[in-house]
Amino acid sequence: MNGSGAKSAVEWLVSVAPDPEACRWEWERNPLGVALLPAGRLWDVLILPGELGYPTLDVLTRVVDRPGPVLADFGDARMGFFVPPGTVARWVGTGVRGAGRGTWIVVPFPGRSTGAVRWLIPPDGSGTLVDPALLELAMHEAAARIARDARAERDAWGAAPRDPDEPHPE
């Protein structure tokens, strides 16, 4: 991310902070390089487990060049997709958590590597967010790919698929 892109991303992110100057100070002086920001104003965050999040991001980036900001945290165990405010309140999905109005998220400084939380796709300052409809479609495609790969791996290890006409053992 170039200097002006990082600056506009910082301005966009801190615009939701109750005290933007304190947020900047925290980013500059906190050894972890992170700040807490409220969700639900300019964005919500849909949080997917990493094993679904990475394939979902792969599908998204094949459809859209820059889908919107995406975070990874805690050793890539979870990924946060920044979506329009209000999305979390309407989202129905198993295994997906959300951060919306009344919640806070840990946000790293754009363009700087930190420890536990990092940008996979940093904000560009324009306010572009992940389209929830595209995210849902990408999640479905990613889940289907994961299931296909699991079947192929199981079959490769010699686990014969069950005959659908055969009665299921009780």
Q: Average the pLDDT over 118-147 and give the result.
A: 94
Strand partners, 35: 107
Check: CB of residue 128 under 8 Å from CB of residue 60.
no
Predicted pLDDT of residue 88: 96
Cβ atoms within 10 Å of 119's Cβ, excluding its own: 21
Predicted pLDDT of residue 168: 57
Calculate the average pLDDT of the chain. 87
| Higher pLDDT among residues 151 and 62, named by residue | 62
- The per-residue pLDDT for range 6-33, each reduced to its tens digit, is 678 999 999 999 999 999 988 888 888 8
Phi and psi angles of residue 12, each rounded to the nearest 5 degrees, phi first: -65, -45
pTM of structure: 0.85
Q: Which of 154, 137, 30, 155 is nearest to 81 (CA)?
A: 137
